Amino acid sequence: MTKRLVVLAGARPNFMKVAPLMAAIAEDREFENILIHTGQHYDDSMSGSFLRDLQIPPPRHHLQVGSGTHAQQTAEIMRRLEPVLIQEAPAGVIVVGDVNSTVAGALVGSKLGIPIIHAEAGLRSFDRTMPEEINRMVTDAISDLLLVTEESGRTNLLREGKDDKEIVFVGNLMVDSLRRHLEDALKSDVRARLQINEPLFGLVTLHRPANVDSAEKLSEIVEALSVIAEDLPLYWPVHPRTRTRLQTGGIQLSPRIRLLDPLSYFDFLHMQAKSHAIFTDSGGIQEESTVLGVKCLTLRDNTERPATIEYGTNRLAGTSKDSILKAWLDIRDRDLKARIPPLWDGKAGLRCHAALRHFFDMRETGRQAKHA
C-alpha cells in the first residue's frame, strides 16, 4: 500500500532542505508526498520565490499562521495543523531544521501517534538562549528517525540517550540544493540589476534575536562592519526583522555598506559564490560558504555546525567589535584551505529516501512479528 508522507515547511531555510527530499521520495511509487506550508514566513521574498526557484510542488495545505511571539506562532501552527494531520492520516511526518514550524509539527504528529522523521537532527549549539536550540532538543527528543548532516549530530544524540538504530548519517540536504542550482545561480544578473560593480565585495546577513533585538548589540556589530567596509564594500540583504530594528534603533551605517531587500535563492547563492568574505549569524550560510570555499565569519560565540569550522572556511568571530575586527584581520589576506565535510556531496536526498524505506520496512516487519 502507498505510504503517505507529510513534509512540513514554513520558514525560508526549510525550503532548500525539503526540495531535494521531496524530489527523491517522488521517484518512489511506494510513497506519496504531501507538502504542508505553515506560513511562518509569508512574504514572497521569504517564501514564494524560494518555492519557485527550487521547483517545489505547491503545498496541498497552507496554514497561513504568520508572525507572532514564539508561543503564539508555535501554538497557532499546532492548532491549525492538528485537523489537517487527522484528515490526511499520514504514515509519517517529516520535519526539517530548527524553526518554530519544526517543533510544532513534531509535537502535533507525535501526539497523534504518527512517526516523526527529523532531517537535520542532532545539531547543538549548547546555548539555550537560542530559540532554535530549544526547538532542536524538543524535536529530537520526540522524533522516531533522526537524519543527521554531520558527525557531531550522532555524537550529540547518543549523549542524550538516543538509540543508535534511530540515527542515520545522510549528509546535508541544503548542499543537494546548492549543487543542483549553482550553475543557474551563477548565471543570475543580480549584480548588474543592483549595480554592484566592485570585483571584490563582502556579504552580510544578520537576523538572530541575540544580535539584532537589542539596539546596543546591533550598533556594536554595525560599528565593526563599518570598519571592515573600509577594506571591503559590503552588501547586506536585510531580513525584515533586522530592517525594523535598524530603523527603530536609528542605527547609522557606513556609506560603504549597502542595504538590499531580501534576495531570491538564486540571487543570494550567486552573491555568496562571488563574495570575498561573508559575515553572518545564519546556520545555513555557514554550510553553504563552506561548500563554496568562501571565507565566512560567523558573528556568534558558538555554532551548532562544527563541521564548517573543522573542514570548512567558517570561523567564529564573536559579537563584540574587538572580536569581530580581530577575526577579520586574521583571515582578511589569507586563503582558507577548505575540505568538503563527509557526505556533503549532493546525494543526501537519496540517502534520506533509503533511510525512510528501511525505517518503514522495519516497522512493518515488527508489526508482522507481533501478530505472528
For the chain, first and last CA: distance in Å?
20
Q: Please tell me what DSSP assigns to residue 55.
A: T
3-state secondary structure of 62: strand
Q: How far is CA 346 from CA 17, 27, 114, 171, 219, in A?
A: 11, 16, 29, 8, 38
Applying CB under 6 A, the span of 94-102, 111-119, 192-200, 319-327 interacting with ligand UD1 comes to 94-102
Q: Is 137 among the residues that bind ligand UD1 (CB under 6 A)?
A: no
Angle at 347 between CA 341 and CA 353, to 5 degrees: 125
Q: Is 5 in the site for ligand UD1 (CB under 6 A)?
A: no
Minimum distance of ligand UD1 from residue 42's CB (angstroms): 4
Footprint of ligand UD1 on residues 306-365 (CB under 6 A)? none
Our finding on whether 274 is near ligand UD1 (CB under 6 A) is no
Please report, for residues 36, 48, 118, 133, 356, the alpha-carbon distance to residue 130 in angstroms, rounded to integers and kept in the order given.
Answer: 25, 27, 19, 5, 30
Residue 241 touching ligand UD1 (CB under 6 A): yes
CB of 16 to ligand UD1, least distance (A): 11
When asked if residue 11 is in the footprint of ligand UD1 (CB under 6 A), the reply is yes
- The Cα–Cα gap between 184 and 166 comes to 37
Q: Contact with ligand UD1 (CB under 6 A): which of 120, 132, 176, 287? A: 132
Q: Does 136 bind ligand UD1 (CB under 6 A)?
A: no
| Listed ranges 42-50, 86-94, 317-325, 360-368: which one lies at the site for ligand UD1 (CB under 6 A) | 42-50
- Indicate the DSSP class of residue 337: P
Contact between 144 and 114 (Cβ < 8 Å): no
- The Cα–Cα gap between 184 and 186 comes to 5
Among left, alpha and beta (phi > 0; psi -120 to 50; other), residue 208 is: beta
Binding flag, residue 180, ligand UD1 (CB under 6 A): no
Q: Which stretch binds ligand UD1 (CB under 6 A): 35-43, 146-154, 216-224, 304-312?
A: 35-43
State the catalytic residue, choosing from 207, 239, 270, 353: 207
Other CB atoms within 10 Å distance of the CB of residue 1: 5
- Residue 48 engages ligand UD1 in binding (rule: CB under 6 A): no
Range in contact with ligand UD1 (rule: CB under 6 A) among 8-16, 21-29, 164-172, 350-358: 8-16
Judged by CB under 6 A, the residue of 2, 55, 64, 67 near ligand UD1 is 67
Give the shortest CB-227-to-ligand UD1 separation in angstroms: 26
- 70 is annotated as an active-site residue: no
Restricted to residues 243-262, the positions that interact with ligand UD1 (CB under 6 A) are none
H or E element, residue 316 = strand 314-316
> What torsion, rounded to 10 degrees, do the Cα atoms 287, 226, 322, 296 define?
10
The yes or no reply on residue 240 touching ligand UD1 (CB under 6 A) is: yes
Q: Kindly state the smallest distance separating residue 193's Cβ from ligand UD1, in Å.
A: 22
Beta carbon nearer to ligand UD1, 11 or 190:
11
3-state secondary structure of 168: strand
CA distance 107 to 79: 11
Which member of 17, 37, 80, 207 binds ligand UD1 (CB under 6 A)? 207
* Residue 41 interacting with ligand UD1 (CB under 6 A): yes
Find the part of the chain contacting ligand UD1 (CB under 6 A) among 237-245, 253-261, 266-274, 352-360.
237-245
CA 19 to chain centre: 12
Name the residue among 334, 224, 216, 286 with its Cα closest to residue 13.
Answer: 286
Least Å from the CB of residue 283 to ligand UD1: 6
8 A C-beta contact, residue 21 and residue 173: yes
Contact status: 46 vs ligand UD1 (CB under 6 A): yes
Grid cell digits, residue 308: 564548517
Alpha-carbon gap, residue 312 to 289, rounded angstroms: 8
Size of the site for ligand UD1 (CB under 6 A): 18
Q: Which residues bind ligand UD1 (CB under 6 A)?
A: 11-13, 40-43, 46, 67, 98-100, 131-132, 207, 239-241
Catalytic positions: 207
